[in-house]
Structure 1
Amino acid sequence: MAFPAFFDQAPVLRLRDGLAELLGAAPDGIVEYRYADAVRLAGHSCPTVAGAWLCARAGLRALYGQDLPERGGVAVSLPEAEDAGVAGVVGQVLTLVTGAAGAGGFKGLGGRHARNALLRYGDARAGALRLRRLDTGATVEVELDASPVPADPEQRILLAAVMQGGADAMQRRRFGEAWQARVRRLLLDHADDPAVVRVRPIAG
């Protein structure tokens, strides 16, 4: 499968997963996720998927500092319902990275490594995507504002042609290139831009 080259340049997320170590999937317990993994999960690459990726990264860095985050050690909640807007897509990306899952997630072994009930939608207490460490209770909220990374002005015209079925092969290709150009800028140029990804601690 050929992806745009910039996928390999996007931030890589490394975590420690005690369950993966216990079950022999990762002998040292270290798991590594790349942006292409999120794209495979979602089936596409867009500012929402890229933004969720960066929000997961920023939230985990705020919670763990220089230490490796513990996959399965973070609860995730969103203020929106699962079927509202892009909340479900964001939640899927966060599940991939953190292991936090809904009621159908892994229920653990001997009372350890449970991943179920760690992902919650419609959390009235959350003002944005919220991540909470299970061991310390430290909590942060992460917000994405992609407006500082505008789309190519031509993209809207090309999208209209695509949606109306009148775009030729060259226009469809150009639309895809313009679409991914914005994703590229978001991931490579603004990954650490506080105007795009904002993190704030939440008092317990």
Structure 2
Amino acid sequence: MQPTGTGDAGFGDEQSPRRLLGTTTVYEGRVWDVVSERFTLTEDGEAITRDFIRHPGAVAVLVLDDDGRVLLLRQYRHPVRMALWEIPAGLLDEEGEDFVDAAARELAEEADLTAARWDVLVDLFLSPGSSSEALRVYLARDIGDVPAADRHTRTHEEAEIELKWVDLDAAVEAVLDGRIHSPSAAAAILAARVARETGFAGLRPASTPWPEHPSQHSAWPRGAVLGD
């Protein structure tokens, strides 16, 4: 097979709807569900069944201060049994909440910080073979503190959060050395390092549409079964 579009600057992922035969909820969880869907790759193709996590999506924030440092937070993640260095992030679980507002809320809750300048840094699907989770990472600058009286009370794993300011280049080294494993943190750190080369001039505005988020395209009702 010959490579296609080699060297082209305009290539990119695109929506590719296929014929959906049916969807059922296999497991209904506290935060996300596991669904089973039957579909065909072509109009008259064979039926294929795939199980995956139906996820509300998330936002994350790479905070950059005036000294060129990024904010990392250390948090325990039970599925991998590790304390990971991450960036502030959270689920889009507030119905109708604007994406940037959700990012600002997570920044305040997890790091007690505000930001006056927001840009889109990178968009990701974290595990597209097994989950519908879409993640948008913002770059936050012009940092301020949340007043002490307005700070969020962190509980459970969040109560153990440890904050650390790290020079961006040192953070890049930590990613490449295999010392940072969080996909959102790794992608954000590397993207910020590249963006810094042009003074962040090429970043998209925070208001840029996000058509890849499930809420912006085919969002099937929980437990719905669609006929042929």
Structure 2 length-normalised TM: 0.18
The answer to which structure has the higher strand fraction is 2
The answer to which structure has the higher helix fraction is 1
Bigger CA radius of gyration: 2
